[in-house]
Amino acid sequence: MSSTVSAASGSALREHVHDVVDDDLRAVIAYSGSGSIEYVYLRPGLNYQLEQESTEARDDILEELLVESLAKSTSEDSFDLGSLNCAVRFFDDATVVHCIVSEGAGVAFSLEPGTLLANQSLLDDCLEIVGIDAPASAE
């Protein structure tokens, strides 16, 4: 997957998520296995060291996302529950959603705490935007 496809997905995702949650969207990052990373959106007013291309924080985030996406098939085999579409991490200060488009490529975004839980359909919408078939929701 090329970084331009991932960046386009990231831009569409940013637009949708921002429309739904407004200023609760903190950041959107698109990356590819070639090592490219694009900060599609960084909410103004937050203190980001990530805006500098060569920061250690930028490299750490890219490495974390790549490792998680490269482990996609291993996770799928281990859990035997179908495709791994995304990973969600709830931190004290933010929720991070990592949409794994393919091994080595994806889009991640962060929200203010509690925002994802208050917007249940948001995750399925985001998976669809980046081209991942969302699992059928239980009704």
**Tally of structural domains, the chain:** 1
Closest Cα to residue 71, out of 41, 106, 39?
106
Neighbours of 37 (CB within 10 A): 22
Residue stretches of the chain with pLDDT short of 70: 1-7, 47-54, 134-139
Q: Tell me, what CATH number does 55's domain have?
A: 3.30.450.30
pTM of the model: 0.83
**pLDDT at residue 94, rounded to an integer:** 92
Whether 25 is covered by a domain: the verdict is yes
Q: Is 67 part of any domain?
A: yes
Q: What local confidence, expressed as pLDDT, does residue 139 receive?
A: 45
State pLDDT tens for residues 92-119.
999 999 999 888 889 999 999 999 988 8
pLDDT at 138: 46
Residue-range definition of the domain harbouring residue 105: 3-129
**Element at 19 (helix H, strand E):** helix 3-21
In a domain, 80, yes or no: yes
- pLDDT value at residue 84: 93
Q: Among 14, 37, 11, which residue's Cα sits nearest to residue 25?
A: 14
Residue 62: predicted pLDDT: 84
Q: Which residue in 100, 28, 94, 97 sits closest to 66, CA to CA? A: 100
